[in-house]
Amino acid sequence: MSAAGTSRRLPGVEGVWVFVAADMAFFAMLFVSFALARRDQSALFESGRQALNRDLGGINTLILLTSSWCVAMAVEAAQRNQHKALQRSLWGALLCAVAFGISKAFEYTHELRAGITPLTNDFFMYYFTLSGIHFVHVIAGAVVLGVMLQRARSGAYNREDHRGLEVGATYWHMVDLLWVMIFPLLYLLR
């Protein structure tokens, strides 16, 4: 029990944490594989890194960090029964997810037009694999955010019942955390 007399618990439900742990373990294996390949082909990986648009990668990072902040504000608003603030925060998170998707689609289009594909070399195979699987997570997360927004608009979340919101928030924070690891790995590390 905490000082306030309430017991501490993980947000959401236990099952989402099992999913998050499994997903993070999968990405950890990809990160280790990337690091080993980078060690063996450092010049190739450095030239690939330099071909990426770091500005777009940085903008995408800011977009996803903003979205996580919006989701955290949504959970806080639900805990305070602030239904309008809850909906505004979820709208903000959803718009950030869409902005990330548009930015990433623009980046992929630019690379493909320049003749860069997953078959170009090992660096770009990892780049498209890591960022592509993450992009699928963003799309799924945008759907989750949309469902949470619909449920919030119908009054489903409040101080007493917001576990569904916490489940979606946990997933979305995982998506953001993954990008925070992918961005420096692909765009910044020399």
The residues, ordered by sequence, that sit 6+ positions from 179 with a Cβ below 8 Å of its Cβ are: 60, 61, 64, 134
**pLDDT for position 139:** 98
Summary mean pLDDT of the chain = 93
Weakest-pLDDT range from 7-16, 114-123, 162-171: 7-16
Smallest CA-to-CA distance from 182 within 12, 34, 21, 23 is with 34
**pLDDT for position 1:** 43
CA distance 29 to 12: 26
Smallest CA-to-CA distance from 146 within 74, 63, 80, 78 is with 74
Query: For the residues 80-108, what does the mean pLDDT come to?
Result: 97
pTM, to two decimals = 0.91
Query: Is residue 93's pLDDT more than 50?
Result: yes
Query: Is residue 114's pLDDT more than 60?
Result: yes
Query: Is residue 18's pLDDT more than 70?
Result: yes
Query: For the residues 130-158, what does the mean pLDDT come to?
Result: 97
Query: Is residue 2's pLDDT more than 60?
Result: no
Q: Which residue has the tokens 């603030």?
A: 85
Task: Outline where the chain has alpha helix (H).
Answer: 14-40, 42-51, 54-79, 83-113, 122-153, 163-183
The CATH label, of 1.20.120.80, 3.30.1490.20, 3.20.20.450, 1.20.120.1080, for the domain at 54-188 is 1.20.120.80
**pLDDT for position 15:** 81
Query: Is residue 174's pLDDT more than 70?
Result: yes
Smallest CA-to-CA distance from 27 within 180, 130, 145 is with 130
**Percentage with pLDDT > 70 across the chain:** 93
Question: Using only C-alpha atoms, what is the Rg of the chain?
Answer: 19
Instruction: Note whether 142 and 166 are within 8 A (CB).
Output: no
Weakest-pLDDT range from 7-21, 50-64, 77-91, 162-176: 7-21
CA distance 188 to 190: 6
pLDDT tier, 190 (very low <50, low <70, confident <90, very high otherwise): confident
